Every structure is written in C-alpha cells, then in structure tokens.
Amino acid sequence: MDTATQEPLTDTLKPIYAHFVFREHPQALAFAASVVERDWKVNVTFTPERALWQATVRRTIRPVFSEITIWLTTLVARATPLDGKSDGWGHEP
C-alpha cells in the first residue's frame, strides 16, 4: 500500500482481527457486549499463561491503513473504560 495515498494493496476483502486483554472476565464480557456491529465477530477466551482474558474481534474489510486505524481506534475507545488494553492486530490469509 502506498501510505501517502492510502491506496489498498488490493480490492479484495481480507479478514482482520484485533486482540484486547482484560484482567477480569466481566470486563471482557462487557467489551464483547459493546461489539454490536453485525459484521464484527467477537470471542472471549482465558489465556492461562498470562492469567488474562482475551477478547478477539474479527471483521472483513479492504486492507486500507486508514480504515484499519479507524476500526482499531473505535475498539480502543470501547476497551479503555473497562481497563482493557490492545494486544495487537493482524490479518488472516
């Protein structure tokens, strides 16, 4: 992608995901409940090696930096009041 023009690498939609971690299960569940968008999927799992609850949000979009940034910013705004922290994002093949 040309970051100066924000052109996508491809017009093909790609599945992307973002991870958020929470200390308590109720916080992770509240975050999951805040994800009401129809095309966004969320699941919550416990990661014993870190003793944290992880919420993973998935959606399919065009791989454009500006769209991904807006999506992540929206999720961070929902996680922060629940003491959630962003724990990375990526895309699936």
Segment 11-48, tens digit of pLDDT:
788 999 999 999 999 999 999 999 999 999 999 999 99
Q: How far apart are CA 40 and CA 15, in angstroms?
A: 10
Q: Which residues span the domain enclosing 39? A: 14-91
Residue 8 lies in a domain: no
Query: 50 is written with which tokens?
Result: 């870190």
pLDDT given for residue 72 in this prediction: 96
How many structural domains comprise the chain? 1
Residue 49 lies in a domain: yes
Residue 64 lies in a domain: yes
Q: What is the pTM of this model?
A: 0.85
pLDDT given for residue 62 in this prediction: 86
Higher pLDDT, 1 or 93: 93
Q: How far apart are CA 25 and CA 7, in angstroms?
A: 39
Residue 7 lies in a domain: no
Residue 2 lies in a domain: no
CATH number assigned to the domain comprising residue 28: 3.30.70.970
